[in-house]
Amino acid sequence: MRIEIFDILRGVSLLAMILFHANYMGIHIFDFDLKIFSDGTWDIIGFLIGKSFIMLSGYVNAYGYKHHSFRVNINRGLKRAWYLALFAALISFVT
């Protein structure tokens, strides 16, 4: 059983995180500022976005584990972690 509001909130926080990081890269790498918020406000917003995404993801994970809505598959988890690590390394290399 999925709780749709948590999926929506995670999606919103993910989009906000993408916007935050795009602005951060624009300022520090490409010397371009979106000028939506001041620097101090971006710092606070970035902190809140990160915390909200991690909190929501943790809650959904704990809820799913508690209600057995998924089975734990170690091999699948390791495979997904490997792909994630490769993708993260690729992003780090490019930027």
Q: What is the pLDDT of residue 12?
A: 92
Write the pLDDT tens digit of every residue in 63-91.
777 766 556 666 777 888 899 999 999 99
Cα atoms found within 13 Å of the Cα of residue 76, Cβ hemisphere only: 4
Convert the chain into a string of H (helix), E (strand) and C (coil). Answer: CCCHHHHHHHHHHHHHHHHHHHHHHHHHCCCCCCCCCCHHHHHHHHHHHHHHHHHHHHHHHHHHHHCCCCCCCHHHHHHHHHHHHHHHHHHHHHC
Max Cα–Cα distance, the chain, nearest Å: 48
The predicted model scores a pTM of 0.61
